[in-house]
């Protein structure tokens, strides 16, 4: 699944808002330039899902401003530390809804899984640089296990995402459901439920315990019976350093220095990740425990349950 530009914009906006909060405060604290000798703040995301990569560059100054730095004074590059290949990025200006102009650098390439890329902004006038080493997370494997419990309000579909040095973010589950009434099966309907912050680390990756009975209570089709057709899970696979507090992109938390910062001789964060979608197949026992009917009822010769 392709990671959309809107996702990148939302993440970089939150991170930019965080640095704006960092530079805000009481009047006596406004003259911050003498406290920061670093030249740049960098924000962006490298993704193997994308053919074009973007990083925002903000010179560190006493005051945030609406006009970007002159791009002629900044050279931006990425270097694959495994191969030594260097790419010089092109500058462009992104204009926000409020008229703010942000300096963006972009390059056309797909980062390789498990490679480390050094992205660097250099001030041409004096050679001062800020950079981040960004590791692209590996391809992961996804498996699921059914947990049938005695309580009537629990039917747990355990999803395991396995890979080395990864961080799972923003898990969602997608149900394809059909109604069944008076022997007639209805059209397919799709329901998406967000379970952000449900993920938890394991020795080999991450675990996401979806309670599919609980989700079913929000699919209201009484008096119809429901047949569960297919189940998919989707999530962001990030590098392990992409670890915001509590799994949330809260600008008030991110505005604290060091909370989410991997830029050397500068501020900000350049992450790496990709969105992944996988089909999982709960067994009929778990499906029935969640008060659905299993898809098998459509393929046997017995009378439909509705």
Strand order in the sheet with 116-123: 86-88, 74-80, 116-123, 129-135
**Residue 70 has what pLDDT?**
67
Task: Please list the residues that pair with 97 across neighbouring strands.
Answer: none
**Residue 254 has what pLDDT?**
57
Torsion (CA) 147, 150, 154, 157 in degrees, nearest 10: 10
Residues in the chain with pLDDT < 70?
1-36, 62-70, 222-223, 246-259, 297-305
Closest CA to 240 of 143, 163, 132: 163
Number of C-beta neighbours around residue 274 at 10 A: 22
**Residue 273 has what pLDDT?**
96
**Residue 68 has what pLDDT?**
58
The structure tokens listed for 50 are 């994308």
Diameter of the chain by CA atoms? 80
**Residue 248 has what pLDDT?**
63
Three-state DSSP at 28 gives helix
**Residue 22 has what pLDDT?**
42
Q: Render pLDDT for 203-216 as a digit per residue (tens, 0 to 9).
A: 999 999 999 999 99
Three-state DSSP at 103 gives strand
Domain 5-138+250-272 sits in CATH 3.20.20.80: no
CB 269 within 8 A of CB 261: yes
Phi, psi of 138 (to 5 degrees): -75, 165
Question: How far apart (Å, rounded) are the C-alpha atoms in residues 91 and 105?
Answer: 4
Half-sphere exposure of 287 (CA within 13 A, CB side): 21
Half-sphere exposure of 111 (CA within 13 A, CB side): 32
The structure tokens listed for 4 are 């959309």
Chain-centre distance of CA 92, in angstroms? 24
Q: Which residue has the tokens 């996804």?
A: 142
The full DSSP string for 39-91 is: -EEEEEEE-TT-SEEEEEEEE--SS--SSPPPGGGEEEEEEETTT--EEEPEE
**Residue 12 has what pLDDT?**
47
Question: How far apart (Å, rounded) are the C-alpha atoms in residues 70 and 125?
Answer: 12
The structure tokens listed for 215 are 């989700």
- This prediction's pTM: 0.81
Q: Render pLDDT for 235-250 as a digit per residue (tens, 0 to 9).
A: 999 999 988 776 666 6
Q: Render pLDDT for 13-66 as a digit per residue (tens, 0 to 9).
A: 444 444 444 443 433 343 444 456 899 999 999 999 999 999 999 998 766 555
Phi, psi of 19 (to 5 degrees): -70, -30
Three-state DSSP at 110 gives coil
Question: How far apart (Å, rounded) are the C-alpha atoms in residues 2 and 274?
Answer: 8
């Amino acid at each position: 699944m392709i990671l959309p530009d809107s996702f990148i914009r939302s993440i970089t906006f939150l991170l930019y808002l965080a640095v704006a909060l960092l530079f805000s405060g009481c009047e006596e604290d406004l003259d911050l330039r003498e406290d920061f000798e670093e030249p740049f703040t960098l924000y962006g995301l490298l993704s193997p899902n994308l053919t074009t990569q973007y990083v925002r560059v903000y010179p560190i100054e006493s005051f945030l401003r609406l006009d970007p730095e002159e791009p002629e004074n900044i050279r931006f590059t990425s270097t694959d530390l495994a191969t030594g290949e260097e790419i010089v990025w092109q500058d462009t200006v992104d204009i926000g809804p409020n008229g703010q102009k942000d300096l963006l650098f972009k390059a056309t390439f797909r980062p390789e899984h498990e490679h480390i890329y050094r992205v660097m902004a250099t001030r041409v006038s004096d050679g001062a640089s800020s950079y981040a080493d960004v590791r692209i997370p590996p391809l992961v494997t996804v498996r699921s296990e059914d947990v049938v419990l005695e309580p009537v309000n629990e039917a747990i579909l355990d999803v395991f995402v396995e890979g080395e040095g990864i961080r799972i973010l923003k898990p969602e589950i997608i149900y394809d459901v059909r109604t069944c009434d008076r022997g007639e099966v209805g059209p397919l309907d799709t329901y998406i439920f967000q379970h952000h912050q449900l993920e938890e680390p394991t020795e080999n990756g991450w675990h996401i315990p979806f309670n599919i009975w609980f989700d079913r209570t929000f699919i209201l089709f009484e008096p119809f019976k429901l047949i569960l057709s297919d189940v998919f899970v989707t999530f962001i696979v990030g590098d392990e350093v992409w670890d915001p507090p509590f799994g949330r992109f809260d600008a008030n938390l991110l505005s604290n220095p060091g909370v989410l910062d991997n830029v050397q001789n500068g501020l900000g964060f350049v992450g790496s990740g990709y969105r992944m979608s996988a089909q999982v197949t709960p067994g009929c026992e778990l499906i029935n425990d969640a008060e659905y009917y299993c898809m098998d009822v459509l393929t046997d010769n017995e009378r439909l349950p509705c």
